[in-house]
A and B are shown apart, each in its own frame.
Chain A
Amino acid sequence: QVQLQESGPGLVRPSETLSLTCTVSGGSISPFYWNWIRQPPGKGLEWIGFTSYSGHTFYNPSLKSRVTISVDTNNNQFSLNLKSVTAADTAVYYCSRWTEDCQGFEFWGQGILVTVSS
């Protein structure tokens, strides 16, 4: 069974860069699309973007200027960098695998709460 686990700091200061890593176990990085999705406390879901196993990326236009997603196939990981954060970036961040066969976000990490505060 594929499992995803987010890791990274739970507290980031305003204007700094939020950096998270998702480690994939129980399956290969290829040939899937690996996504980051976030959810502010008590609110809905926002798709941030994806990387393919080969490193092709695509971002939500609303965040594109601040987001970088990268993949490390050797370690079965992919990462999120979100720069110049503000309190509005406080959220639970999920990593997830998009599966073409079922046309959906089939596997999810448990999520990690990142708070932006000084």
Chain B
Amino acid sequence: EIVLTQSPGTLSLSPGERATLSCRASQSVGSKYLTWYQQKPGQAPRLLMYSASSRATGIPDRFSGSGSGTDFTLTISRLEPEDFAVYYCQHYHNSPLIFGGGTKVEIK
């Protein structure tokens, strides 16, 4: 079973700053089998990025993803107030589908 480790656990930043979130896999998940979700309190997760670097429908271009193999990054170029949330990575390279433990982006 592939394990996804997200870091940092919490990121304290101010609006307008850049956020860099990491997701590391215990073994390769290939070049594209990695997805990112955003979850706000009391809400279901929302699909942000798929295939590591493709934005889902309606996701603003301040969100970008990169990486392959075992190391992946989600970048938010300039944080907007609505971006403060928990972010999860998830792989679909094989079974079971696994989510990372999440990174909370909080207002500093």
A interface, CB within 8 angstroms of B:
44-47, 58, 60-62, 94, 96, 102-106, 108-111
Q: Say yes or no: A111 contacts B97, CB within 8 Å.
A: no
A47 touches B96 (CB 8 A): yes
| Inter-subunit contact A45/B99 (CB<8 Å) | yes
B102 CB contacts on chain A under 8 angstroms: 44
Given A44-B88, A108-B45, check contact A102 B56 (CB 8 Å): yes
Q: Contact between A111 and B44 (Cβ–Cβ < 8 Å)?
A: yes
Chain A CB within 8 A of B15 CB: no
A61, A96, A108, A110: the one within 8 Å of B96 (CB): A61
Interface majority SS (helix, strand, loop, mixed), chain B: loop
A44 contacts B101, C-beta separation under 8 Å:
yes
CA distance A94 to B96 in the complex (A): 17
Q: Is B3 an interface residue (CB 8 A)?
A: no
Asked if B98 is an interface residue, CB under 8 A from chain A, the answer is yes
Q: What are the 10 closest A-B residue pairs judged by CB atoms, nearest first?
A: A108-B44, A45-B99, A47-B97, A104-B50, A60-B96, A104-B35, A103-B50, A104-B47, A102-B50, A44-B101
Determine if B54 is an interface residue (Cβ-Cβ < 8 Å).
yes
CA distance A9 to B46 in the complex (A): 25
Residues of B contacting A96 in the complex (Cβ-Cβ under 8 angstroms) = 44
Question: Please, which residues of chain B bring their CB within 8 A of the CB of A102?
Answer: 47, 50, 54, 56-57
B100 touches A94 (CB 8 A): no
Interface residues of B in 70-97 (CB under 8 A from A): 88, 90, 92, 95-97
- Residue B63 at the A interface, CB < 8 A? no
A104 to B96, CA, bound (A): 14
Bound complex: CA A110 to CA B43 (Å):
7
In the complex, besides A47-B97, A61-B95, A108-B44, 14 extra interface pairs with C-beta distance below 8 angstroms are A44-B100, A44-B102, A47-B98, A58-B95, A60-B95, A60-B96, A94-B44, A102-B50, A103-B32, A104-B47, A104-B90, A105-B90, A109-B44, A111-B44
